[in-house]
Chains A and B, each alone.
Chain A
Amino acid sequence: MDRQAKIREIIRTVSKQEVNIESEASLFDSGLLDSFALPELVTVLEQAFGISIPDSDLDPRKFNSVSSIDRYLETRG
């Protein structure tokens, strides 16, 4: 499974909704996530990708879309 597919699967698990949106579309504006689901999304991403996301990286813009999450994870190697 490529990374974007894995991200979509994680978003589906957290949001309990199918993720049928463009990669650049906002997860919040689309109604998939709200502010209170975001911390859970970050936690699940950490677990799934085996990383620890520091507080300095906890900028909602980094987690706004499938693409932005993908780009952030790319920076984490």
Chain B
Amino acid sequence: MPFLRAFGAYLPSRAVSNTEIAALTGVEPEWIRMASGIEERRFAAEEETVADLGRHAAAECLERAAVPPASVGMVLMASGTAARRFPGPAVSVAQRLGISGAPAIDLPIPSAGSLFGLALAAHVVPVYRNVLVIGADIMSRVAPRERNNPGTAVLFGDGAGACLVSASAGVAEIRDSLIYSDGAFSEDLRLEFECPLEMNGRAVILQASRKLPRTISDLLGRNQLAAANVDAFLLHQANQNLLDQVARALGVPSLRFFSNLRMYGNTSAASLLIAAAEWSQSQGFRQGVPVVFAAFGAGFNWGALLVVGCGQ
């Protein structure tokens, strides 16, 4: 059976306030907070790369798991902001961690990429034993800064998260997952080469508001669970208003949806695993109690993952 063994996270040290972003984008700092719930975000230093961020998060994850790099059987790394076309950051992170010979596979999927990584890891872990899933993005280098596009410019931050999925033991067992893709709206959230991020926020929110609650309900339903049974919902940290909307649609209090948006903004592929790392450190899995992971993003790609705490 697949288990979540440990998490790690890395946030660059430079905190960027709404006041600083507002000056660049021509909006009021309070408007940013009201529109997104975000008060500040972290920006990577000029010399930092996606692989650098990912390595920090992965190293913390392996340390917490007490698993040596040599025991990692596969690396799955999600990022939408890799610095080059190939090779992707997965092999760089693996090499710097001392993981040699294990397949290191890039998932060029922002936002939902970490969720896809966890779902895929659950399927391959019987063979690869320890699968290191990493999500890292440097969105500050691709988010637009034009004054005519403040709705996109203010949302994003940089960071990395990691999770070790193991075949033998962990803090929670992965019970089930659902992942989906639909390219019909691929133009509504995209990053072309050498261009700033393009996002049709209305389309993203409209689709996410419908697909996330439905997917979570489907996942819970086929496992004979209801949303009320779930201890915590750990979602891709896209926007506080979206998290609140999904909570309302599922009929559960927003407080059960972990949020660190206020501090970090939307860190794309990193956000789900950063949230999981922080939630597991502050609250943690309880034996036999379900927790749901879910994400939605460019593609559109979306999905949900059900885990049950092992109480360790």
User: Which residues in A have some Cβ–Cβ distance to B below 8 Å?
Assistant: 28, 35-36, 38-39, 42, 55-56, 58-60
Contacts and interface: CB of A to CB of B under 8 A. Distances in A.
A36 B210 CA distance: 12
**Dominant SS at the A interface?**
helix
A55 B210 contact: yes
Interface stretch (B46-54, B77-85, B94-102, B197-205): B197-205
B205 A39 contact: yes
A35 B210 contact: no
A74 to B, nearest CB: 20
Nearest to A60: B202
A56 B207 CA distance: 9
B192 interface: no
A60 B209 CA distance: 13
A39 B184 contact: no
Given A36-B241, A36-B242, A36-B245, A56 B202 contact: no
B211 interface: yes
Contacts of B242: 36
B66 interface: no
B182 interface: yes
B205 A56 contact: no
11 contacts: A28-B202, A36-B209, A36-B242, A39-B209, A39-B245, A55-B182, A55-B211, A56-B184, A58-B207, A60-B202, A60-B206
